[in-house]
Structure 1
């Protein structure tokens, strides 16, 4: 089986042999033996008829014309060959291979004058065909006709050909050792091709055949010319690269001549002209390391940092950290460019997200803030700074989505520094109308407080409360303002309004905090009955927490009753010095005040007893004990001791797990042990009914 597979397997040799066997054999041209002149003429006539008949059908086939001319040349019939060439040139005079074959045939048979005539016709007909010019020049130079070659080069260069023609002319004159002629050629060459490459070739020539002064003059003339015509030459892609290369070459040459001061001057001019060119900075750095001072090295390092920052910002324009460092560098070392850098920073680095106030926006706004600060403090350009504020607020910040209160505040403070208070007010008013924030309200209120414009402050607080009615600090600040102004009724009205349930959606914690301040206010105003009613509200809103009961009791023990107030102030002699100043009257709590406090404690204990809240009841009882220890009598202490609870360890089931906890049993609980707790019974019945309904649904 394997032998059969080997016999049928194809190989490269089998394929090639099969292809050679099957290919068609090409028709070989019959070999014709010419016996006499008649047979030759017959053959020539037949071939000419074939060429002519073909060219009648396709006269544009230049290869056929070349074959026809080659046939005549093989027959040594130069006259007929010229005729064929001329006829072909009439058909297509721009076919360069035809001209070359025509010229080569004349040179081959040593018809040099004919060849010159044809070359003259060729370069006149096709003056931009470099091959024809090179053919002509090669012919004349091989015949050592130096003047003819020079005249041909002059004629060719007058047409401003490609660089290769000029270089060939220069090389020809160098071969002839005509160095002055080479300089004349370079003078024309740099006018036609004023690129740095041309000047460097001239410098290379002078470095071999010229002097030091001639090289320096050419370098200087090259730089002056290129800088003078900079506006017309900047369209070239390699202009800046070439001129920097030329300048650095000049500096390196001066270093080679040990003219270090000249080299340093060239580097300085180059840095001023192209401050961001890495090639210039690198070359100057190398020079400074070898020949420069410490300050020169620092300048180079600063320039490197500048380029690094610019490269970073080119790759990531939203890198605000690099922008800040870049601005620091420019402001310190390149102060004349700082305005352009600021403009580029705030124009090109606008965040892409227009609807969300993210970290990018905050960093971007700090660029504007730094711009404002620079324009006002460093440049002292008040009008320019004002224009920048308007530009930022009107065109940059999307106030419909979010705003930056700091910019509005800075703008208003700027106008205040310019003694333009009405405009500052309009700015803050516009900000509050367009995009109100807590910071804007606080700043505007602070401004009007400094100006003692209290009516304006009241209006601002009203707007502030409309904006954030659930913010407790706004209510407290507003009430504090009215209290400081001596308007107790307005302050009391603000307090009352803030704790009403149907006015604000303030969290209960904030309401309790306001109630605490309200009680302090009423206490300072000696409106103790109002404070007591507030404590009742405090208990209700605070869910009757033990600490509120304790606070209420302590309050009752420390403030006078209505009767005590009359005794303190009403019965005193109005003419006496002691009674003239109410602040000098000192109240000392009596047993009546302590009894009122005990009643509060008893109320609290009764409240927790009804709700079977042993834990909070025990906390309140402990505070009651401390109170009695401090203010109680032997009898009250004894009565309270009899009511002391006992700690009992109980077990409860929670999520199928037994947990021990400490419960407190009061002595008076035993008297009600036989009584049915209706509320608790109803709660158990309701729970049982819900469980029954769930079981019915599952069945």
Structure 2
């Protein structure tokens, strides 16, 4: 190597340059520090030997390799090329170094690269700088906390918009490798969206169906289905297979999901799929399985009956409703009964509808059921409609006399009054008006949680005339009110004794 340098530079012996150059070369051989290589290159540059200076930098880069890279060497190399107006060389040097040096050791390198692009770069170059800076920030965040999934989402959005598919896949693989440490669903909710976004990227951006299938399958194998599952990922996988015109795989996926973790959303999604395919027998089987799993779910019973109604099988729909109302426990029985009654009304089976109302009243005496029954009779259009409605209101009023909720009884009487005002004679209206209660203000004693007195509160109560006639205390209270009113009138007369004289004189 020394002989080569001597032959190359023999023409410069007269200046003493060769001797100094040999000494510096020997120095970097014995002490191969970065600063010595930089001094060597700057010496060559100072004396105008640009090509030799560039070779020194290149030899230094080759000497240290990728295992011992130092940002100072690349900064000096880039500044040297910048002095020579070699902008493209500068850009290549910076990018090469930034791609290989760890981010925490490339602060100065990144700073100088930013300054260079602002001075000489175009819009694309400046955007690259901003992207690299953000990538550096996200790298620091995910290294500090690998389970910070929000940081991974931001990082992935960045690389998806600006890098090739292999780089994006690499970042996705790094992200999904950070499995939540516990088997609790709340810790997995954000994590699972990494898989979902990965699958969507492979399908929509990379256009790779096979890799998309692999992503979905790997995700489903990872989820601990015995403890919890995610219906969304099952349904998305099935929908993906349908888009690939692979219906057997879609059905297999949904069937597996129901077998491993029967959830409401999975059943709904599977049934909706079969409905779209017009596979009604499969829908029936799915509804049966669904109701074996959750027989108390009124919405499912109603949907099942509605399906049979749409298919024109009224007897099957009625049988489904009968099975439903016969269940020992239901989550929304009032909704189920209403749907059954509406079904019979649509079929114009008025006798069956009346029978349903009576069966319902055997289970509950709720005022809304009575009002609904009266309103139903009003819509039948029969000759004795008004008399039947009036009989129902009278029966309901007698039944609700023993009801503790006086507001319900008041609601019934108001509905009855509205009915009579619209359809009844004046005598019927007066009769209902006499049944209306009197609203009175009362006081009651309050107690705190520890049993001590908490004062008094005022509330409103309703006194019905029928109740007052049967209770002596209420009669006494009414007489007391009349006496009090009379006393008040007497006091007013005593305060104005000349009133009668003036009136008689006039």
The aligned counterpart of 2:503 is: none
> 1 CA distance for matches of 2:34 and 2:351?
100
The correspondence for 2:401, drawn from 609, 614, 617, is 609
Would you say the 8 A contact 1:618–1:664 is kept in 2?
no
State the structure with more CA Rg: 1
Q: Does 1:666 align with 2:499?
A: no
> 2 CA distance for matches of 1:184 and 1:217?
15
Would you say the 8 A contact 1:594–1:631 is kept in 2?
yes
Question: 1:498-513, aligned counterparts within 5 Å?
Answer: 498-500=324-326, 503-507=327-331, 510-513=332-335
> 2 CA distance for matches of 1:668 and 1:284?
93
In structure 1, list runs of 5 or more residues that go unmatched: 1-156, 158-176, 560-587, 675-699
The aligned counterpart of 2:372 is: 551
The aligned counterpart of 2:63 is: 226
Per-residue CA shift, 1:196-253, capped at 9, x if unaligned? Answer: 4442243254356673443233223433x337xx37xx2xxxx111xx4223212223
Would you say the 8 A contact 1:614–1:665 is kept in 2?
no
> 1 CA distance for matches of 2:264 and 2:229?
12
Q: Which has the higher contact order (CA 8 A, sep 6+)?
A: 2
Would you say the 8 A contact 2:98–2:110 is kept in 1?
no
> 2 CA distance for matches of 1:604 and 1:419?
60
Would you say the 8 A contact 1:428–1:444 is kept in 2?
yes
> 2 CA distance for matches of 1:661 and 1:208?
102
Question: 1:111-130, aligned counterparts within 5 Å?
Answer: none
> 2 CA distance for matches of 1:253 and 1:545?
92
> 1 CA distance for matches of 2:372 and 2:167?
68
Q: 1:632 offset after TM fit, Å?
A: 1.6
> 2 CA distance for matches of 1:646 and 1:217?
108
The aligned counterpart of 2:149 is: 320
Moved more, 403-412 or 466-475: 466-475
Question: 1:47-126, aligned counterparts within 5 Å?
Answer: none
- Partner of 2:69: helix, strand, or coil? helix
Q: 1:618 offset after TM fit, Å?
A: 3.5
The correspondence for 2:179, drawn from 336, 343, 350, is 350
> 2 CA distance for matches of 1:615 and 1:330?
65
TM-score (normalised: structure 1) = 0.59
The aligned counterpart of 1:628 is: 420
> 2 CA distance for matches of 1:253 and 1:613?
93
The correspondence for 2:158, drawn from 321, 325, 329, is 329
Q: 1:627 offset after TM fit, Å?
A: 1.2
> 2 CA distance for matches of 1:421 and 1:357?
30
> 2 CA distance for matches of 1:332 and 1:645?
73
Would you say the 8 A contact 1:247–1:266 is kept in 2?
no
Q: 1:300 offset after TM fit, Å?
A: 1.7
- CA gap of 1:266–1:254, structure 2 versus 1, over 3 A, is closer
The aligned counterpart of 2:137 is: 308
Would you say the 8 A contact 1:652–1:659 is kept in 2?
yes
Q: 1:659 offset after TM fit, Å?
A: 4.6
> 2 CA distance for matches of 1:213 and 1:615?
101
The aligned counterpart of 1:299 is: 128
The aligned counterpart of 2:497 is: none
> 1 CA distance for matches of 2:346 and 2:46?
105
TM-score (normalised: structure 2) = 0.80
> 2 CA distance for matches of 1:268 and 1:310?
22
- CA gap of 1:546–1:208, structure 2 versus 1, over 3 A, is closer
> 2 CA distance for matches of 1:646 and 1:332?
73
> 1 CA distance for matches of 2:264 and 2:352?
32
The aligned counterpart of 1:488 is: 314
Question: 1:518-533, aligned counterparts within 5 Å?
Answer: 518-533=340-355
Q: 1:646 offset after TM fit, Å?
A: 5.3
> 1 CA distance for matches of 2:130 and 2:428?
88
- CA gap of 1:213–1:415, structure 2 versus 1, over 3 A, is closer
Q: 1:549 offset after TM fit, Å?
A: 1.3
The correspondence for 1:515, drawn from 331, 334, 337, is 337
Per-residue CA shift, 1:467-506, capped at 9, x if unaligned? Answer: 2222211111011001111111111111112122xx3421
Would you say the 8 A contact 1:550–1:623 is kept in 2?
yes
- CA gap of 1:645–1:298, structure 2 versus 1, over 3 A, is closer
Number of residue pairs the alignment of both structures matches: 446
The aligned counterpart of 2:482 is: none
- CA gap of 1:201–1:539, structure 2 versus 1, over 3 A, is same
The aligned counterpart of 1:459 is: 285
> 2 CA distance for matches of 1:305 and 1:539?
69
The aligned counterpart of 1:385 is: 212
Q: Does 1:203 align with 2:41?
A: yes
Q: 1:181 offset after TM fit, Å?
A: 4.8
The aligned counterpart of 1:442 is: 268
Q: 1:619 offset after TM fit, Å?
A: 2.9
> 1 CA distance for matches of 2:150 and 2:432?
70
Q: 1:640 offset after TM fit, Å?
A: 4.2
The aligned counterpart of 1:270 is: 94
- Partner of 2:225: helix, strand, or coil? coil
Per-residue CA shift, 1:278-307, capped at 9, x if unaligned? Answer: 332211112233344343333222211111
The aligned counterpart of 1:594 is: 386
Per-residue CA shift, 1:538-595, capped at 9, x if unaligned? Answer: 22333x1222211111212322xxxxxxxxxxxxxxxxxxxxxxxxxxxx443x1211
- Partner of 1:469: helix, strand, or coil? coil
What is the aligned-residue RMSD (CA, Å)? 2.9
Moved more, 655-664 or 511-520: 655-664
> 1 CA distance for matches of 2:258 and 2:278?
20
In structure 2, list runs of 5 or more residues that go unmatched: 3-14, 447-454, 473-506
> 2 CA distance for matches of 1:314 and 1:453?
51
Would you say the 8 A contact 1:376–1:385 is kept in 2?
yes
- CA gap of 1:640–1:383, structure 2 versus 1, over 3 A, is closer
The correspondence for 1:647, drawn from 413, 427, 438, is 438
Would you say the 8 A contact 1:252–1:263 is kept in 2?
no
The correspondence for 1:259, drawn from 70, 73, 84, is 84
